[in-house]
C-alpha cells in the first residue's frame, strides 16, 4: 500500500490494475487504517481517474453477494446522492414505472446518507423486505421484473472501510461509486450525479465497466436527478461513443416547476408520495418521475427518444402496471415463494 500511496501523493494516476491491487489491500484487515485514510485523502486531492474508479468498483463487485444467474438487459437507475436538494425518492419511484413499462430493474440503493430518506428507508416504509437472499433477489428479477438490492446487505465487505470513511468526515471516491457497484451484471444504466464536471468521466467509467449503453445526468440546480426546474445536462454512452445533450421538461411535454415543489420528508412521507405517484396523482411529483423514467427508458434503448420514453412512462402509471410492480414487491413472500418454485 505504501507504494500506491506514494504514487498518488506524487499526483500520478494509478492504472486500472494498480488500483485493483490497492483496493484489494484496502479491504485486508492487516492494512493500516491510517494508510487507507491517507490513500483516500490523496486520491481526493489528486482527483480520481477513470481507471481508479473502475478498479475500485471491480473489487467491490467481486466481494459482493453474487446472484446465481445473469439477467441480460437488466438496468439500474441509481444516483450518487450528495446534491442537497432534499427531494423525494425520484429514482426509486421511477424504477417501478420503468419496470411497469417492461424493463427488468435491479434497483440498487442504500439508507439515507446525504438526503432525508434513502431508497432503502422509503421501501422499508412501504413494506419491502430489505435483506432478501441471493436466490430471492434472482427469483424476483426473473419472475417479477424488479428487485431491490440493499447496498449494506449485498456488500458486506464495505464494513471494513466504513469506520475510516466516517472518521475522515469528507467525501471520498466511495461517494462517487455507489451506483456503479450493483452486483448484477448490467449492460445498460442511468446514473445521476451532482457534479456536472464529472459527466464525461462517469460515462467513460461505465464504458470501462462494460456498459453498452448508459446515460449520465446532472439536473438543473445540480441535482443528481433530472429536474423540472430548467436545463438538464446529459451524456449518452452508446457502444463506446459519447454524445452530450441537454433537455428541458417542456421539450417532452411536461410542465416546468421549481425544485421546491419536489421536496420530500421522512420515510413515511416519501412513501406516501411514491404511492400517490404510482397510483396516478397529477402534479410535479408525477411529472419529475415521468421525466426521469422517460430518460431511463431511453438510456435502456426501450424508447428511441426521450419523448417516447415519457409516453411509455405515462402508460405504465395509467395502466396500473407500475402499481402492480410495487404491490408485487411488497406482497412477495420471499422464502415461501422461492421454495415453491
Q: Is the pTM of this model over 0.75?
A: yes
Per the annotation, binding residues are 79, 82-83, 87, 89-92, 107-115, 119, 165, 224-225
Per the annotation, binding residues for Mg(2+) are 91, 224-225
Per the annotation, binding residues for anthranilate are 79, 110, 165
Q: Could you tell me the residue ranges of all domains in the chain?
A: 75-154+183-330
Q: Is 197 helix (H, G, I), strand (E, B) or coil?
A: helix
Q: Is 189 helix (H, G, I), strand (E, B) or coil?
A: strand
Let me know how long the chain is: 341
User: Can you read off the three cell numbers belonging to residue 97?
Assistant: 414505472
| Residue 243 pLDDT exceeds 50 | yes
Dist CA 119 CA 271 (whole Å): 10
Per the annotation, binding residues for 5-phospho-alpha-D-ribose 1-diphosphate are 79, 82-83, 87, 89-92, 107-115, 119
Dist CA 105 CA 122 (whole Å): 17
The closest alpha carbon to 285, from 304, 269, 309, belongs to: 269
Dist CA 216 CA 326 (whole Å): 25
Q: Report the side by side order of strands in the sheet with 75-76.
A: 146-150, 105-109, 75-76, 188-192, 213-218, 232-238, 241-247
| Confidence label for 115 from pLDDT (cuts 50, 70 and 90) | low
CATH architecture label of 75-154+183-330: 3-Layer(aba) Sandwich (3.40)
Region of 293 on the Ramachandran plot (φ > 0 left; ψ -120 to 50 alpha; else beta): alpha
Express each pLDDT in 144-174 by its tens digit: 999 999 999 999 999 989 899 989 988 899 9
Helix ranges (H only) for the chain are 2-9, 16-26, 33-46, 50-63, 90-100, 119-126, 134-143, 151-154, 159-168, 174-177, 199-208, 267-278, 284-300, 306-318, 321-331, 335-339
| Residue 18 pLDDT exceeds 60 | yes
Express each pLDDT in 70-105 by its tens digit: 999 999 998 888 778 889 999 999 999 999 999 999
From first CA to last CA, the distance across the chain in angstroms is 47
Amino acid at each position: 500500500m505504501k507504494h500506491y500511496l506514494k504514487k498518488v501523493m506524487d499526483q500520478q494516476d494509478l492504472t486500472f490494475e494498480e488500483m485493483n491491487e490497492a483496493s484489494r489491500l484496502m479491504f485486508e484487515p492487516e492494512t493500516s487504517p491510517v494508510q487507507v485514510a491517507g490513500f483516500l485523502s490523496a486520491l481526493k486531492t489528486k482527483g480520481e481517474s477513470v481507471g481508479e474508479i473502475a478498479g475500485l468498483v471491480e473489487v467491490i463487485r467481486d466481494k459482493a453477494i453474487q446472484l446465481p444467474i445473469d439477467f441480460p438487459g437488466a438496468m439500474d437507475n441509481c444516483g450518487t446522492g450528495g446534491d442537497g436538494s432534499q427531494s423525494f425518492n425520484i429514482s426509486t419511484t421511477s424504477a417501478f414505472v420503468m419496470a411497469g413499462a417492461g424493463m427488468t430493474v435491479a434497483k440498487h440503493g442504500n439508507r439515507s446518507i446525504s438526503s432525508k430518506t434513502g431508497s432503502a428507508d422509503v421501501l422499508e416504509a412501504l413494506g419491502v423486505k430489505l435483506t432478501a437472499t441471493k436466490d430471492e433477489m434472482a427469483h424476483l428479477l426473473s419472475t417479477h421484473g424488479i428487485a431491490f438490492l440493499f447496498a449494506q446487505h449485498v456488500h458486506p465487505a464495505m464494513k471494513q472501510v466504513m469506520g475510516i470513511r466516517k472518521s475522515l468526515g469528507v467525501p471520498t471516491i466511495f461517494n462517487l461509486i455507489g451506483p456503479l457497484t450493483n452486483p448484477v451484471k448490467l449492460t445498460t444504466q442511468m446514473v445521476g450525479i451532482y457534479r456536472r464536471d464529472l459527466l464525461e468521466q462517469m460515462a467513460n467509467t461505465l464504458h470501462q465497466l462494460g456498459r453498452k449503453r448508459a446515460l449520465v445526468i446532472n439536473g438543473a440546480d445540480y441535482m443528481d436527478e433530472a429536474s423540472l426546474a430548467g436545463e438538464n445536462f446529459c451524456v449518452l454512452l452508446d457502444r463506446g461513443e459519447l454524445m452530450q445533450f441537454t433537455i428541458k421538461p417542456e421539450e417532452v411535454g411536461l410542465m416546468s416547476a421549481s425544485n421546491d415543489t419536489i421536496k420530500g420528508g421522512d420515510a413515511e412521507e416519501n412513501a406516501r408520495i411514491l404511492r400517490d405517484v404510482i397510483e396516478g396523482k397529477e402534479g410535479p411529483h408525477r411529472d419529475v418521475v415521468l421525466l426521469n423514467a422517460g430518460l431511463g427508458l431511453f438510456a435502456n434503448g426501450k424508447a428511441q427518444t426521450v419523448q417516447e420514453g415519457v409516453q411509455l412512462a405515462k402508460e405504465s402509471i395509467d395502466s396500473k402496471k407500475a402499481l402492480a410492480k410495487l404491490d408485487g414487491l411488497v406482497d412477495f413472500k420471499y422464502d415461501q415463494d422461492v421454495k415453491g418454485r
